[in-house]
Amino acid sequence: MVRFLAAFTVIFLAWTTGASAADIPLKSFFGKFRGSAVAETDAAKKLDFAMRDLDVTVAPKGDGFEISWISNQRPIPGSGDKVKKHQNTVAFMAPNENGVYRPEQQGDPLAGGNLAWARIENRTLFVHVLTVGERGAYELQSYARTLSPDGNDMKLLFTRYRDNERVRQVSGTLKRYQ
């Protein structure tokens, strides 16, 4: 009877804690990744594809992490435009008891700052950044970075919402190089 209860308890615990047990540890994301992605713009109901070269670095910082990403947007051939470079770095502190990471200094989006947070679900690291523009419309940028089982590939899905509308989505694959 005791054995049966012990076995039942083990099965019950495994079942009830299964969701969080599947989340991979933060350190799995530490490293440098490089790759390319395709951007799709919903604006004006037309599709505008643009290639981007991406570089992402995830490094430990205290009990949290720092993530830096660079996006080089290639010009449309023949347009005469130059490469557009976007760069961003956010540092997150140790997570709360539910695994949510927040920056040390959270910005106030209504005062021109960024409100950011991150979490890991299964093999995906989500980073969200909320801003409010001068006209009061919000913009929410979501980065979902999913590691392959061997940890060497990272799939990126970036989505930008502006005032309830999805205005941009970028998807691509990056390879670990460090």
Partner 1 sequence: MKRATIALAAIGCWLALALPAIAADLNIKAFFGKFTGSGVAQSEDSLYFATTVRDTDVEIGPTPDGFRAAWTTVLRQGGDPSKPNVRRRSTTMDFVQQVQLNQFKAKPGEGIPPGGQAWARINGNTLTIYIFSVDESGMYEIQSYARTLTGAGMDLVFSRIKDGEETRTVKAKLTRMAN
Region near partner 1 per CB under 8 A, out of 41-49, 64-72, 75-83, 94-102: 94-102
What does the alpha-carbon distance between residue 7 and residue 16 come to, in Å, rounded to a whole number? 14
Region near partner 1 per CB under 8 A, out of 7-15, 51-59, 60-68, 108-116: 108-116
What does the alpha-carbon distance between residue 125 and residue 17 come to, in Å, rounded to a whole number? 19
Region near partner 1 per CB under 8 A, out of 9-17, 47-55, 73-81, 136-144: 136-144
Q: How far is CA 83 from CA 4, 79, 95, in A?
A: 66, 11, 36
Count, residues near partner 1 per rule CB under 8 A = 25
118 binding partner 1? (CB under 8 A): yes
Among 79, 98, 105, 178, binds partner 1 (CB under 8 A): 98
168 binding partner 1? (CB under 8 A): no
Among 77, 82, 105, 134, binds partner 1 (CB under 8 A): 134
Question: For residue 57, what is the enclosing H or E element?
Answer: strand 50-61
Alpha carbons within 13 A on the beta-carbon side of 95? 15
DSSP reduced 3-state for 109: helix
138 binding partner 1? (CB under 8 A): yes
